[in-house]
Amino acid sequence: MSLNVGVIGTGMIGQDHIRRLTKVLSGVNVVAVNDIDAARAALVAPDGATVFDTARELIRAETVEAVVVCSWGPAHEEQLLECIAVGKPVFCEKPLVTTAAAARRVMDAEVAFGRRLVQVGFMRRFDADYRRLKATLDDGALGAPLMFHSTHRNASVPEGLYTSEMPLNDTLVHDADISRWLLDDEVAGVEVRVPRRSSRGKELRDPVVVLLHMASGALVDVEISVNIAYGYDIRGEVSCEAGTVSLPLRPASIIRDIHGVRQAVPIDWRERFIEAYDQEFREWIVAAGQGTATGPSTWDGYAATLVADAALRAVESGALEKVDMVTRPALYASKNDRPDHGQFSQQRMKSAS
């Protein structure tokens, strides 16, 4: 039996996900689409799919069993709440939402419903390289992770649409989430430094350097550059007590020709994470078919939103800004719930301030 899904938001990633849902993956049909740009929705709707005037109508349609949300971040809350209200599984592109208050509302609604319905599009968790890196850390032979160096470079971002807040509340959420997941830790505080501005982004605040203070005491430094011209370059290295482990450079092929030896760089996220997006949907299709969700949860989306909020405060204050999370609801229980986390975080933030 195939899962019948509706896609809301048919821009860049909406179209890429429609392609994978219709041409790459099995066990799924795209039966409905919606976009506030109705012409765009009509243009990219797969054969036989219904184009709905509103997201609400799509979510409530009897033909739609599960929903894929690819609209802009500020639209996510309303669409997620609607999915939860009708009990339909929903894959939501990151960021989950754009404010901590909105994240709490979505979390409260899902907890009240009593079953996970939301999966957040943190695709790095499904990437084979990140999974190998995590397996090495979890194995424990390298000892405790002490530092994680995360590099997040985009060749360019859409001028005018991508604002100075977005390195911190749109792009950084990936590094925040993958840090929590890899290190099995929570972010307790955030600092931001702004180096010399790149002229390529005009007035855009780019690049930025972010320091995530993890509850365990580990530190994560993140370079975010969003106009670096040469490609989409994602790097990561974890320094542990007895060694380091890092992501390979992608793509792995080395070119040797009359110009010398070089390694290609992906153009953008579509190319770098193509297999990770496929895998996150494979796993989502199975879970959604069972009426639930897997992988990154509303709790993870909430955590990343708090980091983004703290980063936005930190870039203004120049100080170390605390991240205060509510107690994790049982619905999202995981091995991250180590009893020492809260205490350690409080001690650390005291000594840091």
User: Which of the residues 268 through 307 are near ligand NAD (CB under 6 A)?
Assistant: 269
Residue 40 beta carbon to ligand NAD: minimum distance, rounded to whole angstroms: 5
Give yes or no for residue 170 binding ligand ISE (CB under 6 A): yes
Write the secondary structure of the chain as one string of H (helix), E (strand) and C (coil): CCEEEEEECCCHHHHHHHHHHHHHCCCEEEEEEECCCHHHHHHHCCCCCEECCCHHHHHHCCCCCEEEECCCHHHHHHHHHHHHHCCCCEEECCCCCCCHHHHHHHHHHHHHHCCCCEEECCHHHHCHHHHHHHHHHHHCCCCCEEEEEEEEECCCCCCCCCCCCHHHHHHHHHHHHHHHHHHCCCEEEEEEECCCCCHHHCCCCCCEEEEEEECCCCEEEEEEECCCCCCCEEEEEEEECCEEEECCCCCCCEEEECCEEEECCCCCHHHHCHHHHHHHHHHHHHHHHCCCCCCCCHHHHHHHHHHHHHHHHHHHHCCCEECCCCCCCHHHCCCCCCCHHHHHHHHHHHHHC
Find which of ligand ISE, ligand NAD, none residue 171 binds, CB within 5 to 8 Å per kind. Answer: ligand ISE
Return the sign of the alpha-carbon dihedral for residues 280, 283, 285, 289: negative
| CB nearer ligand NAD, residue 121 or residue 236 | 121
Give yes or no for residue 179 binding ligand ISE (CB under 6 A): no
d(CA 237, CA 150): 7
| CB nearer ligand NAD, residue 71 or residue 336 | 71
Per-residue x/- track, 179-218, ligand NAD (CB under 6 A): ----------------------------------------
d(CA 91, CA 119): 5
Please identify, among the stretches 107-115, 168-176, 236-244, 313-321, the one whose residues bind ligand ISE according to the rule CB under 6 A.
Answer: 168-176
Binds ligand ISE by CB under 6 A, chosen from 79, 171, 225, 298 = 171
Please answer whether residues 177 and 126 qualify as being in contact, where contact means their C-beta atoms are separated by less than 8 angstroms: no
| CB nearer ligand NAD, residue 175 or residue 186 | 175
Give yes or no for residue 88 binding ligand NAD (CB under 6 A): no
Give yes or no for residue 227 binding ligand ISE (CB under 6 A): no
Give yes or no for residue 154 binding ligand ISE (CB under 6 A): yes
Residue 260 beta carbon to ligand ISE: minimum distance, rounded to whole angstroms: 29
Please identify, among the stretches 2-10, 133-141, 197-205, 344-352, the one whose residues bind ligand NAD according to the rule CB under 6 A.
Answer: 2-10
| CB nearer ligand ISE, residue 73 or residue 189 | 73
Give yes or no for residue 12 binding ligand NAD (CB under 6 A): yes
Residue 246 beta carbon to ligand ISE: minimum distance, rounded to whole angstroms: 19
Nearest residue to ligand NAD, using CB? Answer: 11
Give yes or no for residue 11 binding ligand NAD (CB under 6 A): yes
Which chain residues interact with ligand NAD by CB under 6 A? 8-14, 34-37, 40, 55, 70-73, 75, 93-94, 121, 123, 170, 269
Which chain residues interact with ligand ISE by CB under 6 A? 94, 154, 157, 170-171, 174, 226, 269
